[in-house]
A = this chain, B = another copy of it.
């Protein structure tokens, strides 16, 4: 499958879109990389860093100049921009392919409210607690999953081109129904972010200053509490029902574990922890696609 587009425009240039532009360039793809956005500083910075070839503040000009448009913005801005962009793309002579990178698919598609057959909803499962185009990394998607949620009316050429583009970044593309995507991601990403926030908040005002006495566990369990507040506000607002369901599941798991601790049920805890270790290890290759597996677990503590 070959990516045949010659000009790709990023509408909004931040960590994810900038990383995708960098990955396309690093792959050897020879087309033009354009930028558009409401804020010139990010675009200027992207140009200075060599992440895009040129930018414009004129959306119509960018639509005319591009044969693929990729929205790189938090969910609410993505939905708002799609609602403006899709009718224009549909009305244009060259009908450019449109895709997005938002973590929520249902709300965004509903907000766009336009049956454009060349719009391919997408979501790369990759990110960082850093934000902004200067944090872009060409290897951000390597080994990671990109979920597309195509509907039945989608132009197969558009789906093929978006898939071919992601293949250039080292990502693997999968397909899911919209509702499944939003429920699965509520569980695998959105609820974990809320846990990191709740943990950080619980420690913030503790007079013993536990954050000052943290090691690798606390480093990892709070890393994503440094994520972009606007992005995560948007995600919580736009995937509200699925997120609340996922959080209720985690609360249930925690309540069960608390009961075991309250009852000093050592064998119950041992079984709980062992099951979790097995589940975590079974998914190590998905969660750590870039790293060799450790084989250092054959000895146990005295």
Contact = CB atoms under 8 A, between A and B. Distances in A.
Given A199-B250, A203-B188, A210-B184, A277 B225 contact: yes
Contact of A202 (B45, B204, B252): B252
B224 A217 contact: yes
Given A202-B250, A275-B204, A217 B266 contact: no
Contacts of A258: 244, 247
A226 B13 contact: no
A264 B300 CA distance: 47
Contacts of A13: 302
Given A192-B217, A221-B224, A233-B273, A294 B130 contact: yes
A266 B270 CA distance: 40
A244 B183 CA distance: 30
A153 interface: no
Contact of A269 (B233, B256, B298): B233
B147 A301 contact: no
Contacts of A262: 240, 244
Contact of A221 (B127, B195, B273): B195
A189 B219 CA distance: 10
A46 to B, nearest CB: 9
Contacts of A133: 299
Interface stretch (A20-28, A33-41, A83-91, A92-100): A33-41
A194 interface: yes
Given A219-B287, A237-B264, A273-B197, A187 B210 contact: yes
Copy count, this protein chain: 2
Contact of A214 (B12, B77, B188, B217): B188
B217 A193 contact: yes
Contacts of A199: 191-192, 195, 250, 253
Given A77-B302, A125-B215, A270-B230, A261 B243 contact: yes
30 contacts: A12-B301, A13-B302, A14-B300, A37-B302, A39-B302, A42-B302, A127-B217, A128-B216, A131-B297, A185-B213, A188-B203, A189-B215, A196-B221, A198-B256, A199-B253, A200-B276, A200-B279, A201-B253, A201-B272, A201-B275, A201-B279, A202-B250, A214-B283, A219-B287, A220-B221, A220-B223, A222-B280, A226-B277, A229-B270, A243-B261
Interface of A: 11-15, 37-39, 41-42, 45, 72-74, 77, 125-135, 144-145, 147, 180, 183-185, 187-189, 191-204, 206, 208-233, 236-237, 240, 243-244, 246-247, 249-254, 256-258, 260-262, 264, 266, 269-270, 272-277, 279-284, 286-288, 294, 296-302
